[in-house]
Amino acid sequence: MSEEISHESESPGKVVNITIDDGPDPVWTPKVLDLLRRSNVKATFCMIGPRAKEYPSLVKKVVADGHRLCDHSMDHNTAMDKRPESYQASQILDAQKLIEEAAGDGTKVRYYRAPGGAFTPYSRKVAAAHGMRPLGWQVDSRDWQRPGTARIVANVKREVADGPTILFHDAGGDRSQTLAAMEETLPWLKQQGYGFSFPKI
């Protein structure tokens, strides 16, 4: 498993990778899943360990719908790159264990995304040693700022030329703007000739 941060797609050609962070959430994750199903789009869900433990049925639903799982740490500490290696390791590996236990059926977490992109060479090495490719992004929808649906859509349209991996969120408060923006963005991407894939492992 490569320790390099994955930014590209596993599929050639004009494609994007939809990634969805901070869940699962009992209100918003089902709505995002419903939208993805109606749009016939697969995504990568970057989950917080304790949330996966709290909502195992949602983790199983994500997997059953054909999406992939990503470890997004235990506590979403965006300063974890400043913390000791032992802390980084437990944040990564404890979350991986909880997410895989919640998923069941031997499902593997394929990626690790550091909170806020706070990777270190050590955290990338730990993730790769445990079968998870470090996962970055190029397109930040900035939906977490709740700037309004139109602004989120505009961010994606402006940045999609920078690379295929797009960042959205399905937890952390009211995600109605995210949902509305995805409703608009996914058909637009299809109209522009984009296909949908997963990040390269």
Closest CA to 199 of 69, 79, 73, 105: 69
> Which residue of the set 21, 22, 71, 143 is catalytic?
21
> Which residue of the set 67, 72, 76, 169 is catalytic?
169
Residue 58 Cα distances to 24, 69, 72, 127, 148, angstroms: 7, 12, 16, 23, 27
* Angstrom distance (rounded) from CA 68 to CA 179: 19
Reply yes or no on whether 169 is catalytic.
yes
Label the pairing between strands 165-169 and 195-197: unpaired
Task: Locate 73 and state its tokens.
Answer: 């740490």
Phi and psi, residue 22, nearest 5° = 85, -5
DSSP secondary structure letter of residue 166: E
Let me know: does 2 contact 129? Beta carbons within 8 Å.
no
* Angstrom distance (rounded) from CA 194 to CA 201: 20
Residues catalogued as catalytic: 21, 169
